[in-house]
Structures are given as C-alpha cells and as structure tokens.
Amino acid sequence: MKANFVCGPVVIAIGIILSDFTVAVGDTMEEEKNLKSGYYYASQETRDMQDDDFGNPALLLLEDAEELWSKVEGTAGKSCASCHEDPASDMKGVGATYPKYDEILKKPITLSQFINRERREKMGAKEWNWESKQLLGLSAYIMLQSRGMPYTLVIDGPMEPFFKQGRELYFTRSGQFDMACKYCHTDYADTLLRGNRLSNGLANGFPTYRLGAQRLVSLHNRFMGCEKRLRAQPYKAQSDEYINLELYLKWRGRNISIEMPSVRL
C-alpha cells in the first residue's frame, strides 16, 4: 500500500488546482484492472465482521426484511411473496441490473424506486421513505440474492445519455473545495484522509451497514455526505443526477462482485 498521508480536503484541493485537468472519456484498462472493493480498504476487524454471516451487524435487519417479504400490506391484500414466492431464485441477479431503463418514465430507475412502485401499483400500499429501515432492508435483501455476482448494466441505446451524464458528474468539480469524485476515488485512492483510507468509491456493497451510524445507509446518502464535506450543495436522494452517477459507478466497478451485507466504518 502507499504510505501517503493527507491532512484534509484543502490539501488535496491545493494539489489539484496546481495542475490542469481534462475530463476523461472513460476509464483506462489499467484503472479498471486496479479497482478494488471498499472491503479491501477496510480494517481487518471490519472485514471479519462482514465475513461472519452470523455476527454481521446487518443480519437482524435482513431477517426483518425477510419477514417483510411475506407481509401482506395495502388494499390489494398482497405481499412481495404473492408474486415472487422464492426470492432466492426469483430475485437472483435482479438487483445487479439496476439502475435500468424504464419504458414508462423514459429514464433509468433504481431498485428502491422499483420497490416503491411495486408497493404502490401491485400492492396498493404506501411508499416507503428513501432512507427508511424498511426500504433499505428490503433493498439489501434483494441484493443479497445477487451476492458474488457482477453488475450487468445496460449503458447503450436509450441508457447512453444518462450514462454519459453520470460519468460527467464524476469528473465535474463542485463545492467550495472545487473538487470532483475523481480526485478522492481515482487520483488519491488508497491514501489517508482524516484517519480514513480513501477507497475507489465503488457501489458494490450498497446498501451498506455503517458502523458509525449503526444502520444501513443508501448509496445516495453517501453521495450527499461526500458533497456536504466538500461544502457543495447536494442533490436530493433519488434525483436524476444521483441515479446517473450510480449508473456510472456501478458500471465502473462492473468487474467487482456484489457484497451483501457489507460493513463499512
């Protein structure tokens, strides 16, 4: 590992401002080959916690989600299990395809949006809040059925403009520190920032259990947290901007297996 120590965003920003920056048209083969899951950057204690299916702190949340799968709600008197009796087979690989193009909205939607639409249209049930325990838990439960699989995303055809917008956002500077996602997660990956090692910023473990928050958090929650640290104005969860960025990040880490339930600091 590198032994670089970074004191804070200002130090990184100064180094960046001193050099010219050209938006890349795509990740190079070398960059893709060297990408690593956030698991690689975690402490051994955190890795051990994630690897233990019986001691993983997200286990109870997944058990609650498993019960939700069969819980009848809404005016239609249905549950998820009414249409998908065996999630292990019916949901295998499903989570790995999101964000995916929606023919009705003519744009990509996330797994969370799909779940809420199914609740509204198929069950006649109330939609959950984006950061609710129920929605994050059920999202993680569906992603669990794709554990060990890579993301299988479509980025051409009608998805192409959204993919390009997500990629552009990854390379676009914002906030008072005038920084982009690329600076921390490509240029300075594997260096220390305020005692934490910067990762490649991949999305293969979301929703993830954050030890600091002691709960599951969404990928869009992490986006907002990063932007606040850069003193930028965050977009809203499930905004088009964050959905496009999610698409790009999952494509960028398409050779990294899905981890669920993942544990991060």
Residues with active-site annotation? 226
User: Strand pairing of 107-109 and 100-102?
Assistant: antiparallel
First-to-last CA distance in the chain? 19
Angstrom distance (rounded) from CA 74 to CA 122: 9
The Cα diameter of the chain in Å comes to: 61
Element (H, E) at 251: helix 240-252
Q: What single-letter DSSP state applies at residue 192? A: E
Task: Identify the residue whose tokens are 């794709």.
Answer: 146
Cα Rg of the chain, angstroms: 19
State how far the Cα of 58 lies from the Cα of 123, in Å rounded to an integer.
27
